[in-house]
Amino acid sequence: MKTVFSFITFIVCLSVSKETKEPDKFKDMYTCFDIKQVEAIVEYDNVQWISEEGVDVCDLGFRISSSPHSYSYSTRNWRSPLYCKKFMKEWEKLKKGNEKVCIAAYLFSPEKRKYKGNEISEKSGFWEVIMTENWCHTYFKGNCLGIPNSTESF
């Protein structure tokens, strides 16, 4: 019985240590920017294909003016308006105390397009994690484990 308990304890310790030492699965996907270049964009809508009465939703995106590419990030799907409002409050606080922000995202190939009358090269994609030196927010739960001041998907 003692041997079985020791074995189970050993397995649990291995799984816990794996969780705390596992590298960030997005570490090679981060692009960092001067926070002054990053504009958070919220678009609200009422979609009726979900139900006949319609459902209020929002899309939280980011536009970054950078060289040689500009970047455009959006969410994978709609969120509740409450989610976007909470995020924007956090974002305003975050902008005051940080110089850089890093975004982990699945990016598509750059494409040429017109923006404010100029042709630009833009990379776009779906964001997963937004991180600064002392803050982290993740689109999915679990991606900010061990990072102080993290907010996970409200």
Choose among 62, 57, 58, 41: nearest CA to 131.
62
What CA–CA distance (Å, rounded) separates 89 from 96?
12
- Give just the sign of the alpha carbon dihedral 148, 135, 141, 108: negative
What are the extents of the domains in the chain? 24-152
Measured at the alpha carbon of residue 132, what is the angle toward residues 128 and 136, in degrees to the nearest 5?
50
- Those residues whose C-beta lies under 8 Å from the C-beta of residue 41, and which sit 6 or more positions away, are 60, 61, 62, 63
- CB burial string 8-31: b at 16+ within 10 A, e below: eeeeeeeeeeeeeeeebebeebeb
pTM of the model: 0.69
Calculate the average pLDDT of the chain. Answer: 75
Q: List, for residues 33-76, the tens digit of each pLDDT value.
A: 999 999 999 998 887 776 677 888 889 999 998 777 788 888 88
Of the two residues 119 and 152, the one the predictor is more confident about is 119
108 torsion bin: left (phi>0), alpha (psi -120 to 50), beta (else): beta
Least confident of 9-13, 41-45, 103-107: 9-13
Judge residue 82's burial from the number of C-beta atoms within 10 Å of its C-beta, 0-12 exposed, 13-18 middle, 19 or more buried. exposed
